[in-house]
Amino acid sequence: MFMNDGVNLTISKAVFSNLLVSKAGGVIFAKRGSSSTLTELNMESCNVTNSSARLSGGALYVSDLFLVASIKNSRFTNLMSSEQGGAFYFGDVKSVEISNCIVEVSSSKEGKILFSSAGLGTFNLNENEFYCQSESTVDDYYDNYISQTIT
């Protein structure tokens, strides 16, 4: 999907499942300097299941000083990344709010659920439930997936 600069993105009542990306952001990759620049990201009443990123942000990878992100009333299940943020990776962002969400079975080297680098403006976590695991990795997932696919 191509978007012009300054776009507001709202995702509501969406279902994402069985996502496997080779870099970052299983569902959404938003970074200043990429092909488009978001100014507002709203995700509400969504369900993300089995989402894996080879690098960071099993579900979301967001890094933009001007971005306001709001994630509400959503469920994230079985998420993985090899590096940072099993479910969410937030780089330099203006503000993030995660409210009334459930994250189950999330795994990563750093930040099993969430990883945030320096430069974060405002960050609010309200009435969420977070559950994670630490044994499996995305590399295990890739190895199992690839070997099952080839044979």
How many Å from the N-terminal Cα to the C-terminal Cα in the chain?
A: 33
Q: Which residue has the tokens 């001007």?
A: 66
Report the sign of the C-alpha dihedral through residues 49, 20, 122, 40, in that order.
negative
Which amino acid, one-letter code, is at 7?
V
pLDDT score for 33? 63
pLDDT tens string, the chain, 151 residues long: the values are 344 556 788 999 999 999 888 899 889 888 876 555 678 899 999 999 999 899 999 999 988 777 889 999 999 999 989 898 889 998 888 889 999 999 998 888 888 888 887 665 788 899 999 887 655 444 444 444 333 333 3
> What does the domain layout of the chain look like in residue ranges?
7-150
Distance (Å, rounded) from C-alpha 102 to C-alpha 31?
Answer: 25
Q: Decide if 80 contacts 48 (C-beta within 8 A).
A: no
The 8-class DSSP code of residue 138 comes to H
